């Protein structure tokens, strides 16, 4: 992307069906990348309070017959690898959602680029690919959430034409988890 020698790999089913040779690599590498620190620190921070997905969960949930999520990895050639020797330098994690009001949607759960590769168009390329896959699947919206302290990311999203639905439409993100979730399920 942007002439930086970066390529995007996917774990999506469509790619598998097309027999894309890069897919198997990505299936495996998304897991090992999380083991080697590519996992978004923002996600880790958010998970400190509650259940944290482990590598086993990620493997099962992302690479089983009916995956709960899909992933795209941004990879640079060997000559641009990080000081620690990583060539997988960013990723996007997404899944499909549905609204009775607006129909098909794609939800981007994570977007992450290693600090030393930021500002080179990698984040934009990853998000663009998610948008492209969403449109190809008949989605009308790309949804995601940003923590209120994450101003650089908010500015990045706003610069890409996204808007804040909390400000403009009054939406709040709500969650039920832990004991409250178990209690709710037993009513
Ligand atoms: C947010 C993030 C993914 C952006 O990735 P990136 O590779 O640095 O961004 P890019 O280089 O692709 O930026 C592309 C465009 O966004 C703009 N942009 C990037 N950061 C910006 C900022 N802080 N403010 C305003 N514009 C910004 C660039 O100017 C560029 O504009 P263009 O459309 O004219 O080309 C990256 O900073 C990141 O991984 N942050 C940490 C993880 C995180 O917080 N993720 C989001 C969780 S919700």
Confidence at residue 26, expressed as pLDDT on a 0 to 100 scale: 47
Residue 73 beta carbon below 6 angstroms from any ligand 1 atom: no
Confidence at residue 182, expressed as pLDDT on a 0 to 100 scale: 98
Are 136 and 112 in a shared domain? yes
Confidence at residue 125, expressed as pLDDT on a 0 to 100 scale: 92
Confidence at residue 11, expressed as pLDDT on a 0 to 100 scale: 59
Question: How many structural domains comprise the chain?
Answer: 2
**CATH code for position 69:** 3.40.630.30
Confidence at residue 59, expressed as pLDDT on a 0 to 100 scale: 80
Determine the Cα–Cα distance for residues 74 and 123; give it in Å rounded to an integer.
Answer: 9
Are 62 and 126 in a shared domain? yes
Residue 63 beta carbon below 6 angstroms from any ligand 1 atom: no
Out of 94, 107, 157, 171, pick the active-site residue. Answer: 157
Q: Would 59 be classed as within a structural domain?
A: yes
Q: Which domain holds residue 186?
A: 151-187
Q: Would 80 be classed as within a structural domain?
A: yes
Residue 94 beta carbon below 6 angstroms from any ligand 1 atom: no
Confidence at residue 8, expressed as pLDDT on a 0 to 100 scale: 63
Confidence at residue 81, expressed as pLDDT on a 0 to 100 scale: 85
Are 38 and 122 in a shared domain? yes
Is 96 annotated in the active site?
Answer: no
Question: What is the Cα 56 distance to its own chain's centre?
Answer: 18
Whether the CB-CB separation of 155 and 119 falls below 8 Å is answered with: no
Q: What is the pLDDT along the chain (187 residues), one digit of tens a residue?
A: 444 455 666 554 444 343 332 322 344 455 556 545 566 555 554 444 567 777 778 888 888 888 999 999 988 888 888 888 888 889 999 999 999 999 999 999 999 999 999 999 999 999 999 999 999 999 999 999 999 999 999 999 999 999 999 999 999 999 999 999 999 999 8
Phi, psi (deg, nearest 5) at residue 53: -70, 130
Whether the CB-CB separation of 141 and 165 falls below 8 Å is answered with: no
* pTM across the whole model: 0.84
DSSP 76-137: --GGG--TT---EEEEEEEEEEEETTTEEEEEEEEEEE-GGGTTSSHHHHHHHHHHHHHHHT
Are 90 and 68 in a shared domain? yes
Are 186 and 115 in a shared domain? no
For atom 5 of ligand 1, the residue with the nearest CA is 123
DSSP 41-66: HHHHHHHTTS----HHHHHHHHHSSS
Are 85 and 168 in a shared domain? no
Confidence at residue 28, expressed as pLDDT on a 0 to 100 scale: 46
């Amino acid at each position: 992307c942007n002439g930086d020698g970066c390529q995007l790999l996917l774990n999506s089913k469509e790619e598998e069906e097309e027999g894309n040779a890069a897919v198997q690599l990505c299936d495996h590498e998304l897991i090992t990348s999380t083991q080697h620190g590519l996992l978004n620190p923002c996600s880790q921070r958010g998970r400190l309070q509650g259940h944290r997905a482990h590598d086993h969960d990620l493997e099962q949930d992302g690479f089983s017959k009916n995956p709960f999520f899909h992933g795209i990895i941004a990879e640079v050639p060997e000559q641009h690898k990080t000081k620690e020797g990583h060539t997988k330098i960013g990723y996007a994690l997404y899944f499909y959602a549905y609204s009775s009001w607006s129909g098909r949607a794609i939800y981007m759960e994570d977007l992450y680029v290693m600090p030393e590769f930021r500002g080179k168009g990698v984040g934009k390329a990853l998000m663009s690919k998610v948008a492209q896959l969403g449109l190809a699947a008949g989605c009308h919206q790309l949804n995601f959430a940003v923590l209120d302290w994450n101003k650089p990311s908010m500015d990045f999203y706003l610069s890409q034409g996204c808007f804040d639905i909390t400000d403009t439409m009054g939406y709040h993100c709500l969650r039920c988890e832990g004991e409250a979730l178990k209690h709710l399920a037993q009513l």
